[in-house]
Amino acid sequence: MATPRRRSRGPSGAVRAFDVQTGKLVWRFDTVPKPGEVGHNTWEKDGWKDRSGTNAWGPISVDVNHGMVFLPLGSPSYDFYGADRKGEDLFANSVLALKTETGKLVWYYQIIHHDLWDYDLPAQPVLMTVHRANREIPAVAEVTKTGFVFVFDRLNGVPLFPIEERPVPQSQVPGEATWPTQPFPLKPPPLARTSVARADITNVTPESRKYCLQTFGSILPARIFDPWSLTLKLEMPGTLGGANWSGASFDPFSGYLFVNTSDLGVVGEMKRQPAGSPEAYLWGSKWGTFARFWDSQHYPCQQPPWGTLNAVNLNTGEIAWKVPLGVVDALKAKGIPKTGIYNLGGSIVTAGGLVFIGATADHRFRAFDAQTGKELWVTKLEFNGHATPMTYLGKRTNRQFVVIAVGAGGNIGDDASGPTALAAYALFPKGQSSPAQARLQAELAKIPSGTGSEPPEIKPPLLAPTQPIPFSHRGHVAAGMSCDNCHQLSSDGKQMQIPSVTGCMACHQSVMEARPAIQKMTQLEKEGQQISWVRVYQLPEFVFFSHQKHIDAKLACEVCHGMVRNQDVLRQEKEISMVACINCHKLRKVSTSCGLCHNIGY
């Protein structure tokens, strides 16, 4: 979508799904609700009509298992003045969960009400499993320009940590109506600076401090969600964040979410426009639009760190570690190395416990220990790595490589042009052990010697998740059904599939059809929707498992799943872990080679 800057009216940000085989439009979801739709009443008068923006600003995430897509939506145009769009402005600045097949709304959460700060949701929602009170919860996390991290149960949108609606300052710009409150998550803590006072002004050099106090001292203090006014004001975090489009990476081994953030404010004021202009007020400054809160050398005007890499334990909501990310070479030469620097570009985390990230405006590419945040490796690039790295295994060498795109871009820093390249690095030269091997050895040390044993029962048993349709395994077994009547083997032999609504209705169109649960399934089938079953047994993505091979070995379902036949509500009875699997293999005199279940090229 292309629209003129600063125009509030234009093409909509509607989200569309197309059939990849035919190109046919399958569904459309209007992100600005029309009359009669959920959220329409959050737009005053005709503010919803022809509203530009409110589009999927960051990449979309897909939950294949539950048939859901997650969208991070942008702010409505015009970004900094909303007199013609009074109200909360749904679904702007919201995380949306839609049904993959139909585009039907499942849930939403608005992270910014009536955005006046360009605080669109720039990052792809991150899908993960959170461990809480003996339960595994399918979750989704959204990192934001404000530095806040919002974590939800991705099936129903319930926040996994409390969120408070707090009063915020109100606008004095004529015609504007700031929303009275904004959401503040109580956990995790903010990952970026959300306020600046005179006491926070930098002292990295006398010149920098003098410039910043003379230029910006009169507009301090400043805090998050201060609205713009007719005089110069500071927004902290600024329009680059906090976090940005680079998003976050997640390590299922530790439960850590890795987020890089910038502490870089932006300054501006609202200027009255001549009569007849498209907008009554425009935002800017004598330095131009998007003027940064920095000195003449582009050193941010508050004390360092100016950029950080954060590890958030999503099981607890606490920050596990936080380290400065990046250097300023001129300051490093003066003995000030730990400043961090503003950044754009994401991280990846490997199964071996390494976090790789470029992003910084210092031409560097780094690797950190995922558990501690210690910088393990750094190299100088030809230019900035304003990109998210990727990793792969070489087919011929069976070695792991990490690649990052290098170039100018990024709309940040001093470099407007420079060389472009793909920089590739090989991990762990021959004879050098990797962190993955250390992790593996630590896990193997937990396995007792001996002839092996059956997978143990979990005590106390895990809580049963709430399913969309009540389903009794005991009742179906009593009716004479076996496991494979409802659970078909996938074509690749890896998974036993969960029941489809069509499969269920093949029986229930004439069996117990008057029950509310069956009527609900009947309606789902009519609408072409599937049942959003919650998986009880889930293996990490880095584990290779074949149901077909276990069936061929005559292994009973009960060995891994327990006495499901006796359960009215399905819950996990048996431990599924590397220790349990290896002990079971030892008992049956089956290979316990690492390469059987893992790609040991890591």
Three-class DSSP category at 506:
helix
The pLDDT, as a whole number, for residue 415 is: 60
Whether residue 415 contacts residue 384, with contact meaning beta carbons closer than 8 Å, is answered with yes
With 0-12 / 13-18 / 19 or more C-beta atoms within 10 angstroms meaning exposed / middle / buried, residue 487 is: middle
Q: Which H, E and C letters describe 343-377, residue by residue?
A: ECCCEEECCCCEEEECCECCCEEEEEECCCCCEEE
Q: What percent of the chain has pLDDT over 70?
A: 93
Three-class DSSP category at 142:
strand
The pLDDT, as a whole number, for residue 497 is: 85
Three-class DSSP category at 437:
helix
The pLDDT, as a whole number, for residue 1 is: 24
Q: Give the integer Cα–Cα distance in Å for 152 and 41.
A: 25
pTM score: 0.77
Whether residue 134 contacts residue 463, with contact meaning beta carbons closer than 8 Å, is answered with yes
Q: Give the confidence band of 31 by pLDDT, cuts at 50, 70, 90.
A: very high
The pLDDT, as a whole number, for residue 602 is: 43
Q: What is the mean pLDDT of residues 502-513?
A: 88
What pLDDT digit, counting tens, does each position of 429-488 carry? 555 555 556 666 676 677 777 888 988 888 766 777 788 888 889 989 998 988 888 888
What pLDDT digit, counting tens, does each position of 376-392 carry? 999 999 999 999 999 99
Q: What integer best gives the mean pLDDT of the chain?
A: 90
For helices 578-587 and 435-444, the axis angle rounded to 10 degrees is 60
Domains defined along the chain, listed by start: 1-135+144-181 (2.40.128.630), 193-432 (2.140.10.10), 446-498+533-596 (no CATH)
Burial 157-172 (b: 16+ CB within 10 A, else e): eeebeebeeeebeebe
What pLDDT digit, counting tens, does each position of 540-567 carry? 767 888 899 998 899 899 999 989 889 8
Nearest alpha carbon to residue 197 among 177, 217, 214: 217
User: For the residues of 253-309, what is the DSSP string, one character each?
Assistant: TTTEEEEEEE---EEEEEEEPPTT-SSSEEEE-TT-TTEESB-TT--BSBPSPSEEE
Token reading at 66: 């539950």
Return all residues near 445 (Cβ < 8 A) that are at least 6 apart.
Answer: none
Nearest alpha carbon to residue 310 among 263, 377, 379: 263
User: With 80 as the cut, is the pLDDT of residue 255 above it?
Assistant: yes
Token reading at 251: 């390590």
Whether residue 103 contacts residue 120, with contact meaning beta carbons closer than 8 Å, is answered with no
User: With 50 as the cut, is the pLDDT of residue 4 above it?
Assistant: no
Q: Which amino acid is at 257?
A: L
Q: What is the mean pLDDT of residues 298-312?
A: 97
Q: Which amino acid is at 157?
A: G
What pLDDT digit, counting tens, does each position of 56-108 carry? 999 999 999 899 999 999 999 899 999 999 999 999 999 999 999 999 999 99
Higher per-residue pLDDT: 329 or 593: 329
Whether residue 463 contacts residue 133, with contact meaning beta carbons closer than 8 Å, is answered with yes
The pLDDT, as a whole number, for residue 5 is: 44
Backbone φ and ψ of 583, nearest 5°: -60, -40
Token reading at 405: 């795109």
User: With 50 as the cut, is the pLDDT of residue 2 above it?
Assistant: no
Q: Tell me which residues are annotated as active site.
A: 118
Backbone φ and ψ of 473, nearest 5°: -65, -40
Backbone φ and ψ of 53, nearest 5°: 80, -150
Whether residue 151 contacts residue 160, with contact meaning beta carbons closer than 8 Å, is answered with yes
The pLDDT, as a whole number, for residue 471 is: 87
